[in-house]
Structure 1
Amino acid sequence: MSDRTDAATLPEALRPAIEKYRDEADETRRIPAQLLDQLRAAGAFRLNAPRESGGFELPLASVLELYERLGRIDGPVAWVIWNLNWGFSAAFLPESGFARIGPDALIANSGQPGRLVHDGADYRLSGAWRIVSGVESADWVALAAIVFDGDRPKLTDAGPDVRIVWVPRSAVTVRDTWDVVGMRGTNSDTVVAEDLAVPADLVVPFAVPPRIDRPAYRVPLVHLVFPGCAAVVLGVARAAVDEVTALAGRKVGMDGVPLAEQPRLQAALGRATAEVGAARALLFECARGLDRAAEAGAPATDAQRGELRGAISYAAETARSVLTAMYEAGSSDPLYASSRLGRIFRDGMAAAQHANMSAAHYELAGRTRLGLPPNALIV
């Protein structure tokens, strides 16, 4: 499973199964067990796991490319694969903590902060985390939490003391709150923990240095997570272009002229292809910059990290533009519940709402471009 050539073939190898079950996933609002088994067996959840744990240990840019290609097949499935790809936990948790989880666990995550308090040498966790994608498919959950000292957050030089906390899926309550019109198949429900005891070796700060000091894990932990959603949404945007291209070959406009022969549609497809291609190139190049720094053993600079955050926001902005243009180009087709283009549009627009891709992050990109401190805990 550690052969990178095999990893590169995953999207096409999994395409038949993904296409077979994507309607069922939309109806049931979760990945069907049969599809989950095939994804798991193929190693789709071990893209960034260490080689000694049976993972591919891919660099960030390679992982993002796979997410994007999977998103082009189906956004919800790619989204769950992204959110459950926490095999890098082995590189950041203490050895004893990772032994509790094991190399085969699927780990869903949420960046919404809960409350964490010391309980002797260990901790107690409380909170509600909304939109935890793929949680019913997960064995564990990794949840962000702020350490509190009494009624006040504990502060560090960088701001509140934010930690990542790993807990078994069986130890939390999952509330069925995912009643939506886009990305339905992601099972993005709410996780609740009430004064849950957590061993100290399952709690690490966001800025924890890797225990496994190799290039794949020298990239800041937060950037092993954040850009994946942007790659998926760009894949969904490309899927919309693909669908309109296919539609244009069989649909005739009100004037009796095939859509494929209409200059307006030709221009829309040309512009959309260029826009999504530019956003992909920017996102991947920023990721490769972090990979190159990691390979050289150098820390990522604030400017590099800020550029990546800007590229993530730009991906969402571009995807919305492309999805809207393709919806319009599809004429009446996307109005129907049976329309593949309509579902792609709904999935893509829902995905682009993720907080990781907010336009607010352009401020981080601008501050670091100006040489100013990021003015944020996570950049």
Structure 2
Amino acid sequence: MSDLTVDDLPEALRPAIEKYRDEAAETRRIPAELLDQLRSAGAFRLTTPRELGGFELPLASVLDVLDRLGRIDGPVAWVVWNLNWGFSAAILPESGMRRIGPDALIANSGQPGRLVADGPGYRLSGRWKIVSGIESADWVALLSIVFDGDQPRMTPAGPDVRICWVPRADVTVLDTWQVTGMRGTNSNTVVAEDVPVPADLVVPFTVTPHIDRPAYRVPLIHLVFPGCAAVLLGMAQAAVDEVAALAAGKVGMDGAPLTGQPRLQAAVGRATAQVGAARLLLLDAARELDRTATAGREATDAQRGLLRGAISFAAESSREVLRTMYEAGSSDPLYESSRLGRIVRDGQAAAQHANLSAAHYELAGRTRLGLPPNALFV
């Protein structure tokens, strides 16, 4: 790992990200040169244990880094989020981690496949859409449900859900990412057909980490889920910044600077408040989980639900900010060369992710009211 601190990381990587982001959009993947610089800087080691050369950051710090990367380029930050599975070392058996290695880039998907027992191991089949960064990955972590015959195996909490780590070479990647936004994320479809998976590369989703330190006591779903919200907030902030820069150099039809228009002033002021409020809520909910983990306590459903609601609020706020900044940009975002146009297209595409769905407000409300979450994972 480089000698960069986490605080240094986004700005240190800015020149490389800005240099290659247009190429990433054109080729629909992170260029090899940029990927190498991200790896050497430690961008994919945010959650990796310290003894393996990682930063081992608390959740709120991870989200802060992703937010700041998202302000530079959403697609790059998105791939950094989806490939930051260094915490695998805290939940896999040591023999499993030896198979993977500490430097592997691990893409992931939460759409469940089918897992069946096969002697001491398993066999995995399924189709997972929108696996971001898959062409940059060495391995892929895929959600699955254990089946006994034609029926899913049940536990007291519901279906037996597992995570399987599979070499990238053992799955088929279909080139399905023909899109207008977030093109550089290479979010293609992964297909597994009866792929053998050793038992030490399969863990239940409810696994207890064997590294008992605060960074890994945070519920596993929250090590995975909220990063996309931080990236999206970074993109929304970038849209506000871009409008401010555009306004400083343009005049209206009356010849007066756009910065003097009360309508634009109000739009930028409101958008700044919206992004700031959503960011503070997301980070505060994450810090609450961090504090609970540091104290050695188990997170409550209400604490978990608060973060899920904050994720949905981040998406809702970002959508509105992106829309109003597009309008404020007048004709500028219509052009392919427009940075604002790219940010808005990428941001609106990112906001479609299932993790960011407004449907999660229901879970947040139920847990706040003291009701059962009514969900497989909280």
| TM-score bucket of the superposed structures, by smaller chain | over 0.9
Structure 1 residue 232, shift from structure 2 partner: 0.2
Residue of structure 1 equivalent to 2:269: 270
Residue of structure 1 equivalent to 2:106: 107
State the SS of the aligned residue for 2:54: coil
Residue of structure 1 equivalent to 2:34: 35
State the SS of the aligned residue for 1:342: helix
Counterpart of 1:51, as a letter, is R
C-alpha distance in 2 between matches for 1:189 and 1:39: 21
TM-score, normalised relative to structure 1: 0.99
Gaps of 5+ in 2: none
- Please list the CA deviations of residues 174-217 of structure 1 after superposition, one character each: whole Å capped at 9, or x if unmatched: 01000000000000000000001100110111110001110000
Residue of structure 2 equivalent to 1:21: 20
Counterpart of 2:18, as a letter, is E
Residue of structure 2 equivalent to 1:252: 251
C-alpha distance in 2 between matches for 1:93 and 1:47: 17
Residue of structure 2 equivalent to 1:127: 126
* Residue 71 (structure 2) pairs with residue 72 (structure 1): yes
Q: 1:165 to 1:277 in 2, by over 3 A?
A: same
Gaps of 5+ in 1: none
C-alpha distance in 2 between matches for 1:279 and 1:158: 32
* Residue 195 (structure 2) pairs with residue 196 (structure 1): yes
C-alpha distance in 2 between matches for 1:308 and 1:175: 33
Q: Verify the 8 A CA contact 1:2 1:57 in the aligned structure 2.
A: no
Residue of structure 2 equivalent to 1:146: 145
Q: How does 1:168-183 map to 2 (within 5 A)?
A: 168-183=167-182
State the SS of the aligned residue for 1:8: coil
Residue of structure 2 equivalent to 1:340: 339
Structure 1 residue 365, shift from structure 2 partner: 0.3
Q: Verify the 8 A CA contact 2:2 2:40 in the aligned structure 1.
A: no
Residue of structure 1 equivalent to 2:318: 319
The number of residues matched between the two structures is 378
Counterpart of 1:74, as a letter, is D
Q: Verify the 8 A CA contact 1:146 1:153 in the aligned structure 2.
A: yes
State the SS of the aligned residue for 1:244: helix
Counterpart of 2:93, as a letter, is P
Structure 1 residue 259, shift from structure 2 partner: 1.0
State the SS of the aligned residue for 1:116: strand
State the SS of the aligned residue for 1:297: coil
Q: Verify the 8 A CA contact 1:144 1:165 in the aligned structure 2.
A: yes
Counterpart of 2:244, as a letter, is T
Residue of structure 2 equivalent to 1:357: 356
Residue of structure 2 equivalent to 1:328: 327
Q: Verify the 8 A CA contact 2:2 2:41 in the aligned structure 1.
A: no
Residue of structure 2 equivalent to 1:261: 260
Q: How does 1:88-99 map to 2 (within 5 A)?
A: 88-99=87-98
Counterpart of 1:200, as a letter, is A
C-alpha distance in 2 between matches for 1:195 and 1:253: 62
Runs (4+) of structure 1 exceeding 4 A deviation are none
Structure 1 residue 255, shift from structure 2 partner: 2.6
- Please list the CA deviations of residues 79-136 of structure 1 after superposition, one character each: whole Å capped at 9, or x if unmatched: 0000000000000001111110000100000001110111122110000100000000
C-alpha distance in 2 between matches for 1:327 and 1:168: 41
Structure 1 residue 236, shift from structure 2 partner: 0.2
Q: Verify the 8 A CA contact 1:24 1:32 in the aligned structure 2.
A: yes
State the SS of the aligned residue for 1:196: strand
Structure 1 residue 2, shift from structure 2 partner: 8.8
Residue of structure 1 equivalent to 2:59: 60
Residue of structure 2 equivalent to 1:82: 81
State the SS of the aligned residue for 2:114: strand
Counterpart of 2:316, as a letter, is E
TM-score, normalised relative to structure 2: 0.99
Q: Verify the 8 A CA contact 2:76 2:185 in the aligned structure 1.
A: yes
Structure 1 residue 301, shift from structure 2 partner: 0.5
